Amino acid sequence: MTRMATMTAAQRRDQARREYDAFIRSCPTNQLLDRISDKWVSLVVSALAAGSMRYSDLGRKIAGVSPKMLTQTLRALERDGIVARTVTPSVPVRVDYELTPLGTSLSCLLSAVKDWAELHIEQVNEAREQYDAEEH
């Protein structure tokens, strides 16, 4: 009989995925990619790059964001030390958000990404047109 101890391809991949996941979670680069790749994060950071803003101002400036995602994004960024949250206990309460030094640094990295994007987007678009023109 065939060795039952032999793992199936799926089992092997499953185990590999577990190890991989553990690796990913401990990998700074991927942690950061997860962070900046978030749809709303880059928008919040670039909005705040211009200066501190209130919660509702962010909601208006970032068109189409739901309160839930805005809060979720801001909490995550606050936890990571990217943004600072300041509560003014007036009535009604006023909450301001601003970039920390670390946040400003991240904002610079996003600028680098932006520069690369604008420099190469045309090349990408050409590649896409050419690819789509061929038959696949």
Partner DNA sequence: CTGCATCCTGTAGGATACTG
Partner DNA sequence: CAGTATCCTACAGGATGCAG
Number of residues that bind DNA (CB under 7 A): 25
Counting every residue written for the chain, the total comes to 136
Amino acid at 33: L
Which of 7, 11, 32, 57 binds a second copy (CB under 8 A)? It is 32
CB 58 within 8 A of CB 47: yes
Selection from 94, 56, 100, 97 nearest residue 74 by Cα: 97
Report the alpha-carbon distance of residue 122 to residue 133 in Å, rounded. 16
Alpha helices in the chain (DSSP H): 9-26, 28-37, 41-49, 55-61, 67-79, 101-133
Residues 10-29 that bind a second copy (CB under 8 A): 13, 16-21, 23, 28-29
* Under rule CB under 7 A, residue 8 binds DNA: yes
Q: CA-CA distances (angstroms) from residue 29 to 41, 71, 74, 97? A: 16, 25, 21, 26
Minimum CB distance to DNA smaller for 122 or for 134: 134
- The answer to the question of residue 25 lying near DNA (CB under 7 A) is no
The site string for a second copy over 81-110 (x = CB under 8 A, - otherwise) reads x--------------------x--xx--x-
- 105-134 residues in contact with DNA (CB under 7 A) are none
| Minimum separation from the CB atom of position 52 to a second copy (A) | 18
Binding site for a second copy (CB under 8 A): 13, 16-21, 23, 28-34, 36-38, 42, 62-66, 78-81, 102, 105-106, 109, 112-114, 116-118, 120-121, 123-124, 126-128, 130-132
